[in-house]
A and B are shown apart, each in its own frame.
Chain A
Amino acid sequence: MPVVKVLTEGIGELDLTDIAVYRQRDGYRQWERAVRELKSSEVLDIAERSGLRGRGGAGFPTGKKWSFLPAGDKPRYLVCNCDEAEPGTFKDHMLLENVPHLVLEGILLGSYGIGSHHAFIYIRGEFKRGYEIFSRALEAARAAGFVGKNIFGTGYDLEVTIHRGAGAYICGEETALLNSLEGKRGEPRLKPPFPAIAGLYGMPTVVNNVETLAYLVPILRNGPEWFSAVGTERSKGYKIISISGHVRKPGNYEVALGTTVRELIEIAGGLREGRTLRAVQPGGGSSACIFEEHLDLPYDYENMSKAGSMLGSGAFVVFDDTTDFVKCAFNLVRFFAHESCGQCTPCREGGHWLETVLHRFVEGRGLASDLTMMRRVSSTVTGLNLCALGDSIEPFLKSVLQRFPEQFEARVLREVASA
């Protein structure tokens, strides 16, 4: 089976929240090596050569993101994005709760890689347990001298600050996160300037996902080639896939990128007895569905994009033939409309409008004209928004409206439909 144990190694068997256990398994060894033996630029170089791409959703090459920071004396910050809230994604808090030291070591390595002396981790407010576990881990690491002043006697200082979110999906968007971290209203910033130039407190900043940073540890341990040797041409290495929906064994599975969609379904125990596949949402609530014809596609950034969807954060939701796609579309649109910060017009108005209309469909009160409208609106507004949230509202709706029009048509009021 193509399931691997890299970040997930030891989870469920060992108490890796205990710093002693983590250290027995070479924990903080890469951190010590980096600080003692490597230059910042060498860590950046390793990250770049590994082909690691952002595991939070956008899939941007990590080393390249770091390299955008301008040279200079300004303080620079690394922010670990642990505001995981994409519908269908449940990997980051799993890492936070089970391997907090691995996450922290990743944060330390990332900070060192960009030459930062202050890192932040923004933890989703609902992750109370993860927050408590990580806080204890941070204190233990601080007590061991891995965080703070003069680390390993090298003169390198690095502080880590934990910040808890207050319950807004939008704060997972990196600039909204920075605003929230600064104590401002959690809403995305107008770009440019990008965080690399003017991020947290106006300083050069890198925002990386939990999983992305955690992978730095095995990449440093095993070398960048170990990571880039697996995967497909432009999607290198491993990834934790949160598989859910109509499968027998939903859960987090760590695999090499490029594992096929069909294999992923099988890894999660396959479909329930007697059921047939209708669709897969391969990249979280923001992504469009893919269908049977895509089953043998390698699951990687490029192929998901070619199929009209995206890999996103690796939230893989399976839908079988019992699915009511009208309800699913309503549920997702309602979520995004609820989470919209309301700054920009298409997201604020479009999301709410579609939610209202879909609610009528759920109740069997759709109008034929609504179908025309939803097709028109869902194919126009994507790309008009200030941030990615607005562009996340319609892809699922658009794809299922196109694939399963009969499910929507069945909810159109008959007398109106025939009039």
Chain B
Amino acid sequence: MDMTPAIAIRGLTKDFRVSGSSKRLRAVDNLSLEIHRNSIYGLLGPNGSGKSTTIKIALGLVEPSVGECEVLGIPSTNPAARTNVGYLPEAPYFQRFLTGRELLKYFGCLSNVPKEKIQKRIEYLLNRVGLEDAGNRRVGGYSKGMLQRIGLAQALVGNPDLLVLDEPTAGVDPVGAAEIASLILELKKEGKTVLLCSHLLSQVESVCDRVAIMGRGRLLMEGSVDTLTQEEGCSSMRIDQVSSELRGSVEQLAKKHGGLVSSPSRSLEELFLELANKKDER
């Protein structure tokens, strides 16, 4: 297996010129992170934290001001870096005049899917995202949830190694969101790497191996979900088949050694809000 990271970002800074003035706005500030292959990586942060800019830089849509970004070992400014990348943008806008099938064919051609395989691939993907009956309808008439699904299908059309999903469950009902989450987990099983941007923190928590939390363009915290959700001086363990006797004995033992027993861990959401509040206090 190739050991080069799926995405490697080193000292990345991006400044935008504010139109009509000489001022510059820093969207990403000295960001460094690595996303390993065959993992699900969550990128979190409030609006304006630099997540979207980071993704756009990784996809070659925006050039970095300072630093570098490599995708699958190739600099992101090189179009070749996108050969094995699928992207689902936030609130995806597609060519409304195309039908679902036409859209997938269009993106399939652009993703270098061989002509003889494209039809089969389209049917497979429509089936996989549950749009087999809507494939001949124009995308302009799709609901928000259907747009997300067709967006996922177009991201997958070239069978890429790396998927960049920006808010994949926005506008999708809870059942649909759960389906998308299980699809993401399946993709990992297939050996793919997923970079996930989401506001649904519980979802990120349930699927991601590692997460990075950004604020004002900076990396605030990065690590595995378990590590991040672990409170300092606290530890949680899972014991199956707990009887009331066993529970009483464990509690007694903890008290004996000066420990305090409470609910197992804080959620990622709690951590996120904590970090966001800290940022505001500063």
Q: Do A and B bind each other?
A: no
Point out residues on B near A: beta carbons under 8 Å: none
Point out residues on A near B: beta carbons under 8 Å: none
